[in-house]
Amino acid sequence: MSAVLRDERLLLPMTVKQLDAVLAIELQAYPFPWTRGNFIDSLAAGYPAQVLHGSHGELLGYFIAMEGVDELHLLNITVAPAAQGQGHARFMLDELCTLGRSRGAHQIWLEVRGSNLRARSIYERYGFRHIGLRRGYYPASREEYPNGREDAIVMSLSLEAARGVD
Ligand SMILES: CC(C)(COP(=O)(O)OP(=O)(O)OC[C@H]1O[C@@H](n2cnc3c(N)ncnc32)[C@H](O)[C@@H]1OP(=O)(O)O)[C@@H](O)C(=O)NCCC(=O)NCCS
């Protein structure tokens, strides 16, 4: 996968060498973060994975997807907390769509926590549609969810229709 340069940001393929920096963001961004092993397994499997750098080389975020027959499944998209709200997720979603189209995918789908209203709203504004529910998909705090599990909303984006909604 080649580097993608637009404005002052640079998307590069994720490598094992970057995992310390990736994990530092992952631990800040999620109450139940991916482990180093999750990232290593994804890279070993050859899943499309890119890191987003800012103009000073700082790590702003990253995404990992899994390829299906005619679809991409977005497994992880994260922006460093200090860099959120500046369009970086949208930038990575644009690249994910470009990647999907270049590989013949017709749709992108993802799961998001029901309680993650910010992410859900960003996906909806981008054009993703709520298509289903996976009950108890995520580990969760027992204080908020007595069974320690939270449902996932399944969302999908048609690449034929996608152009990024303002
Ligand atoms: C969800 C997440 C990935 C969104 O990343 P983000 O970079 O903050 O998202 P964006 O900046 O692209 O979009 C957020 C907002 O910024 C706005 N925006 C876009 N370009 C902008 C710019 N140049 N300057 C300022 N704001 C901008 C967008 O319109 C959007 O507005 P909204 O909040 O009213 O919808 C990020 O909050 C995150 O990593 N959260 C923790 C992990 C997580 O929940 N991941 C998703 C799991 S499914």
Q: Helix 117-126 vs helix 88-102: angle between axes, to the nearest 10 degrees?
A: 50
pLDDT for residue 1:
54
Give the range of the structural domain holding residue 51, as residue numbers without chain letter: 4-158
* Domain contains 165: no
Q: How is residue 60 written in tokens?
A: 């702003």
The closest residue, in CA terms, to atom 37 on ligand 1 is 84
In this predicted structure, the answer to whether residue 108 has a pLDDT above a threshold of 80 is yes
pLDDT for residue 8:
86
- Report the C-alpha gap between 29 and 80 in whole angstroms: 7
* Domain contains 87: yes
Considering its fold, how many domains does the chain have in total?
1
* Domain contains 166: no
C-alpha separations of 165 from 48, 52, 56, 93, 162 in Å: 24, 21, 29, 12, 8
pLDDT for residue 166:
47
pLDDT for residue 154:
98
pLDDT: which is higher, 165 or 28: 28
Residue among 64, 74, 79, 150 whose CB has most ligand 1 atoms within 8 A, to mutate: 79
In this predicted structure, the answer to whether residue 111 has a pLDDT above a threshold of 70 is yes
- Report the C-alpha gap between 94 and 100 in whole angstroms: 10
* Domain contains 163: no
Q: How is residue 159 written in tokens?
A: 């690449």
- Average pLDDT in the chain: 93
C-alpha closest to that of 150 among 124, 120, 109, 122: 120
* Domain contains 164: no
pLDDT in tens, 54-87: 999 999 999 999 999 999 999 999 999 999 999 9
Residue among 28, 78, 138 whose CB has most ligand 1 atoms within 8 A, to mutate: 78
pLDDT in tens, 91-107: 999 999 999 999 999 99
Backbone angles phi, psi at 147, to 5 degrees: -90, 5
pLDDT for residue 160:
86
In this predicted structure, the answer to whether residue 5 has a pLDDT above a threshold of 80 is no
* Domain contains 28: yes
Q: Which strands sit side by side in the sheet containing 71-79, from one edge to the other? A: 4-6, 9-13, 49-53, 59-67, 71-79, 107-113, 149-158, 129-139
Domain CATH number, residue 30: 3.40.630.30
